Structure 1
Amino acid sequence: MRSLSYWPPLPLHSGVIHTVFTAYVQRWGCLYPWQPQTSHVFHGAEGVPLYGEGYRVSQARGTIIATYGITGDLQNQWYLHTLAHWAIARRFDVVLFDWRAHGRSAELSPVLTSDGLYEGQDLVAIAQQCRELGYTPPYWFVGYSLGGQLALWGAWYAQQQGVTEIGGAAVICPNLDSNRSLAHLGTTFWGRQFERAISRQLQHLARHLHRLHPQMFDLKTIAQIDTIAGFDAALVIDRLGFGSVAEYYAASSPLPLLPQLTIPVWILYAADDPLFDPCLVPELLAIAESNPALTLLMTEQGGHVGFTSDRKCQRLWGDPDYCWGIHRLLDWLAQQPR
């Protein structure tokens, strides 16, 4: 772990407020709309079609393959669009995609999420297809929140399969242990509010899947979804062959993978992230200390996928805007060998 100078504006010193600001306020101020050059239909694990969009630059130093968190689509992810904007400015090719059951990928297939178990293989398959399409290696898997979990699984599968053109992964606030973090959410007032908000979005996602594929999804079952675990219990675990949500979360959480990774991985994590169990912080620090392949940046503040910087912090780093986490991620990628 490296200690870095970072501080948010004074009103965002609370991790809860910072998280709410990022999720519900900051998105309206995004100045960097995503303007892809081309669209693709990739084929992931077991041939599942996945919708993606790409942008290529001349003399690229590599390709970033990225997706978003637990809900959303390519059209409404301001943080992903900002990442793409600055990645292109730093001469990276960029491929963004809707992961399983999201956005236009949901239109192409009724296949549901698996929290990395298959999405990690999807990422490896997308990288291999990017090579055929002319995107520049090495390929870097990038994500935030649950998308960060998917990227870590992608790095794991790339390592297991010996795919040398995949450079590694860079993630911001990845979900590392679903069982513990969901249990933690239920212990605090704001945690319960966050889970209710996410659960409503998941029920909306499930209803959208029903409209697209009515023969595959039952509305009565969907109506009963009122928690994150409830979504997975109702729609996911039976299809994947798990006997319980706890068993599924234990299998899909990437924390046990981190000590075994030899492929380069960069993680930005805030100690005040209100969505995750605080007990994960010392464990993550200990893993990073013992694994030279893992670069961990741990900050005291930052919230969940926040890392908004004040003007003094921006001047210190020479950053062009307040998206401190994105600029540190791109700094690390720019330092990696081609």
Structure 2
Amino acid sequence: MIKYQPPLYFNDGLIQTLATKYWYGKTWQRWGDHVPWLSHLPQIYAWQEQIFTGAEGVPLWGLWSCPTHVKGTIIFNTGLNGIVKKAWYANLFARKAYNRNFAILLYDWRGHGKTAELSPVPSSYGWREGQDQIHLAEQLTKMGCPPPVILAGVSMGGQLALWGLRAAMETKCSKICGAATLSTHLESNLSLVHLRKTSIGRKIEQSFVRNFRAEGEKRRELFPHTLKPGAVECITSIDNYDREMVIDYYGFNSIFAYYHQTSALYFLDRLALPYLIIYSQNDPLFEPSIWPQMKQRMAQNRNAHLILTKKGGHISHISKTNNLEDHFWGMNRLLDFCETLVDCQA
């Protein structure tokens, strides 16, 4: 495996996170598939738009494509603010996966993007999205995307992928063989407290809140009967959003109980299918005490694979230029692991 080495100007995790988000996010919004940093990869011209059916009949909007010489299928989960068409990293991953002959699905999970226009059902940080991915895998294989199916994701999407792996284990879904995750969200109670300790962390939280309010306003416009009066106006923080929009729907008594129940950290030692977590010790979004707990739990599980780096930021892991691969080191390691999973199934 190629060792991770960031450029000197990206040694600080916060700087790398913000710079990566700004540069790649802004250029993707402007040029889309024609951004210069994707010019070395062939475009996916065979995207197909589809409304899938998740658990409890929840409709899920997605884009999928299957190459001619396909060897497996990947379901990719975007991060907390992720909307497929706006998420630069999701489209980067898709291009790379397709280039390696994987069928790929990008979808807006519960409460996000176009899926939020189809249903008022809120997100659950993976608790119900895990079952959604079982349904997605079943439908994709019927449509011609072959197993094995691999679940992938970044940040909160990484937690969704791990919940999908847990659901596959509990339902004995033979089509799903593993998961690959980057900058994986693992514990909500600790990370939210950590985020609020600094002014920049509070600004990052407010960037999430703006997106949550937009989704809340969309839900009020399309499904007004599903919200209490004044609910959208109460969305001034992440936990306020979950209090107003989520926990009553799923029957939780408190935000603490909801966050604890949905945090993937507490079942890492029990997953019976192979999975990868790529995690940076200087990820500015997560409480630093999480990674030692993650490391300890994963050490107890022979199915767990951990790449823990000292540097790398959040959804970044941009590397120095070298002659072996492009500088998207984190995405490249995810796909290397996906190929290993396919080889093990052969």
TM-score (norm 1): 0.94
Instruction: Return 29-38 or 208-217, whichever deviates more.
Output: 29-38
Alignment partner of 2:318 out of 308, 323, 331: 308
8 Å Cα contact 1:38/1:54 also seen in 2: yes
Distance 2:82 2:298 in 1: 31
Alignment partner of 1:334 out of 332, 336, 339: 339
Give the C-alpha shift of residue 136 in structure 1: 1.1
Indicate the residue corresponding to 1:255 in structure 2.
Answer: 265
Instruction: Return 153-162 or 198-207, whichever deviates more.
Output: 198-207
8 Å Cα contact 1:34/1:81 also seen in 2: no
Q: Kindly provide the amino acid, as one letter, of the partner of residue 165 in structure 2.
A: A
SS in 1 for 2:92: helix
Give the C-alpha shift of residue 131 in structure 1: 1.3
Q: Kindly provide the amino acid, as one letter, of the partner of residue 73 in structure 2.
A: T
Unaligned runs of 5+ in 2: 29-34
Q: Kindly provide the amino acid, as one letter, of the partner of residue 20 in structure 1.
A: L
8 Å Cα contact 2:66/2:145 also seen in 1: yes
Distance 2:229 2:114 in 1: 21
Alignment partner of 1:97 out of 96, 107, 112: 107
Q: Kindly provide the amino acid, as one letter, of the partner of residue 6 in structure 2.
A: P
Indicate the residue corresponding to 1:27 in structure 2.
Answer: 25
CA RMSD between the two structures: 1.5
Q: Kindly provide the amino acid, as one letter, of the partner of residue 103 in structure 1.
A: G
Distance 1:162 1:140 in 2: 15
Change (3 A) 1:274 1:324: same
Indicate the residue corresponding to 1:322 in structure 2.
Answer: 327
Higher RCO, Cα 8 Å, sep 6+? 1
SS in 1 for 2:231: helix
* 2:91 is the counterpart of 1:77: no
Alignment partner of 1:220 out of 230, 244, 254: 230
Alpha-carbon displacement from aligned partner over 1:103-144 (angstroms, at most 9, x marks no partner): 111111111111111100000110011111110100011110
Q: Kindly provide the amino acid, as one letter, of the partner of residue 27 in structure 1.
A: G
Q: Kindly provide the amino acid, as one letter, of the partner of residue 330 in structure 1.
A: L
Alignment partner of 2:156 out of 141, 146, 167: 146
Unaligned runs of 5+ in 1: none
Alignment partner of 2:97 out of 79, 87, 94: 87
Indicate the residue corresponding to 2:275 in structure 1.
Answer: 265
Alpha-carbon displacement from aligned partner over 1:292-326 (angstroms, at most 9, x marks no partner): 10110011111111111121xx33xx11x221100
SS in 2 for 1:64: strand
Change (3 A) 1:238 1:134: same
Q: Kindly provide the amino acid, as one letter, of the partner of residue 139 in structure 2.
A: Q
Distance 1:197 1:163 in 2: 37
Alignment partner of 1:206 out of 216, 221, 234: 216
Change (3 A) 1:243 1:150: same
Alpha-carbon displacement from aligned partner over 1:215-251 (angstroms, at most 9, x marks no partner): 3235622112111111001111111111110010011
Give the C-alpha shift of residue 8 in structure 1: 1.7
Distance 1:215 1:289 in 2: 47
Instruction: State how many pairs are aligned.
Output: 331
Instruction: Return 72-81 or 5-14, whichever deviates more.
Output: 5-14
Q: Kindly provide the amino acid, as one letter, of the partner of residue 119 in structure 2.
A: S
* 2:280 is the counterpart of 1:275: no
Q: Kindly provide the amino acid, as one letter, of the partner of residue 289 in structure 1.
A: A
* 2:7 is the counterpart of 1:13: no
SS in 2 for 1:135: coil
Alpha-carbon displacement from aligned partner over 1:79-112 (angstroms, at most 9, x marks no partner): 0000000101111011111101111111111111
Indicate the residue corresponding to 2:171 in structure 1.
Answer: 161
Give the C-alpha shift of residue 193 in structure 1: 1.8
Change (3 A) 1:36 1:80: farther
Identity percentage of aligned residues:
36
1:150-189 matched pairs, under 5 angstroms: 150-189=160-199
Q: Kindly provide the amino acid, as one letter, of the partner of residue 59 in structure 1.
A: H
* 2:60 is the counterpart of 1:50: yes
TM-score (norm 2): 0.92
SS in 2 for 1:260: coil
Alignment partner of 1:124 out of 124, 129, 134: 134
Distance 1:49 1:124 in 2: 14
Distance 1:237 1:44 in 2: 20
